[in-house]
Amino acid sequence: MKHHLLAACAAVMILAMPVHAQDAAPENAAAVEAMSKVTAAPDFIKHASMSDLFEIQSSQLAQTKAGSDNAKALAKMLVDDHTAARQELMTLAQGAGVAAQPTESLDARHQKLIDQLTAASGPEFDKLFGEIQAQAHREGIALFKSYAASGDNEGLKAYAMKGVPVLEQHLQMAEQIAK
């Protein structure tokens, strides 16, 4: 009886989730949850710079491998926007005296995603690129919203608040490509 009740509760919770959350694997949902709790400037800089670096590298790959014009357009936009965002983040961090270095290489999780993209081709590449970018941007939105609301550095909070609409636009485009 307990198992049936638990299963029913779980089914209700799943049905109540937004559609995109149902698509995310449990580890992806956990990553979004973790990003929604970042409030310290050094942690924000670490995660935001990792996100930017991943977006840049994966999108540079997409600029050469993507088949659709939409995927190529998104890739170009991501390279341009995340390169500018990364530069602005580092300038703000230095100006605020925050002792944090930008991430210069991908962690294992992000490198694995690059490897998956490298192995894909054709329409499979475009779909995977869209799915990976959608997840990355869900995480980024959670990070930026959290820091904008509760961060410990006013300049970085303003930067995060300004970045949310851009990340949301990227997410919408990525979700279209992932279909």
Provide the pLDDT for residue 97: 79
List the chain residues with pLDDT less than 50: 1-24
Distance CA 129, CA 87 (A): 24
Distance CA 119, CA 20 (A): 25
Give 36's DSSP letter.
T
Distance CA 24, CA 151 (A): 26
Q: How many CA atoms lie within 13 A of 176 on its CB side?
A: 13
Task: For the chain, list the domains and their CATH numbers.
Answer: 27-178 (1.20.1260.10)
Place of tokens 């949850």: 33
* pLDDT tens readout for residues 43-67: 999 999 999 999 999 999 999 999 9
Supply the angle between the helices 108-119 and 122-150 in degrees, to the nearest 10: 160
pTM of the model: 0.81
